[in-house]
Structure 1
């Protein structure tokens, strides 16, 4: 039986929360980002599959619904705590060991660039036990291998309940390959993230 929970705080010592979403993700992300308190000190990084060639308006879309500052990640930019970053369209977003972003235009993964797998795998090496990876609704297996790497290197993994997701293919693939520390619906996930605050680094 996969682990489920109602409301429990995220793991202690978090420095990074990495979120991946695809089909149905715009709405799901709205629920998740709205739950983050202004006292959240962890960095939040989001990969949402977008069509190439389109400019991203995600920071503007969510600005009124999120208490944290939002921006599109830039190449070589150092990650800042208490900030939400979005992967820019048509670039893979990576996190380097020195705590900076890097962008690449290597081949798409599961027909997607940015790739959730690329973000999670690089973040796992940079943050290890200090990260939480979240897989939301989507229509491919992107994110499953990355989630497995996160767990292998000591990070925590939450997955949206596939039966309650707009598109359950992505969370189901993640659970099949990597498993999860918690399987949550969106209200449960939001309630748990709302417990983030000044104790994250303790």
Structure 2
């Protein structure tokens, strides 16, 4: 009975008209331009939640949510402790905080130790959604240096989720996309311009977009 209760807590409610409930996006160097490209063409009725880790200078306030919010019809906000995932909303990890998703679809922020010298860590975000959302999770790895996201990609794939990686030749910095591809767990390797439309097809299927 205890095991059943734990399992129940790890199955958050599914969003209506969505084949996937959450899209987690990782980016580092060159990421602002890439994130704008992906988010700017998603429809207002996009029925999944989006969580974003963009590596930022830890000592400065971030205007990432405002920058992205001006370029997309989706709601964009800097993630706060206890936020509940909502369809059509993008949550941006604040500087110097890990962003994690809980079993009840709420968000947690943590200043626990750096992961591969990074905070926020895409690996931690990806691993948290793999555990909770399993085959209803999509992870996207965009431009960036280093290898953040690669371990998380393996975790998501192991739990049945779907992985999209920016094609290296269209990435301003190839480190993160290359590391993800080298795991052998990637479902789609796409030029930056094709990621948004693929995301809509995966999440919304044949639903008509106004």
Runs (4+) of structure 1 exceeding 4 A deviation are 194-200
* Residues 58-81 of structure 1: CA deviation (Å, up to 9, x unaligned): 121112211111101111221111
One of 124, 143, 147 as aligned partner of 1:137: 143
TM-score, normalised with respect to structure 1: 0.89
Which residue of the partner structure matches residue 22 of structure 2?
16
Query: 1:16-95 maps to which residues of 2 (within 5 A)?
Result: 16-95=22-101
Deviation at 1:110, TM superposition (A): 2.1
1:91–1:103 CA contact under 8 A, matched in 2: yes
Larger Rg: 2
Deviations 1:23-43 (A, max 9, x none): 110110010010211110100
The size of the alignment, in residue pairs, is 189
> 1:80 & 1:199 partners in 2: Cα distance?
21
Contact kept in structure 1, 2:19 and 2:205, CA below 8 Å: no
| Gap runs ≥5 in structure 1 | 1-11
Q: Which consecutive residues of structure 2, in runs of 5 or more, have no partner in the other structure? A: 1-17
Q: How well do the aligned residues superpose, as a CA RMSD in angstroms? A: 1.5
Secondary structure, in 3 states, of the residue corresponding to 1:37?
coil
The answer on whether the counterparts of 2:19 and 2:204 sit within 8 Å (CA) in structure 1 is: no
1:193 deviates by 3.1
User: For residue 7 of structure 2, what is the aligned residue in structure 1?
Assistant: none
Alignment partner, residue 15 of structure 2: none
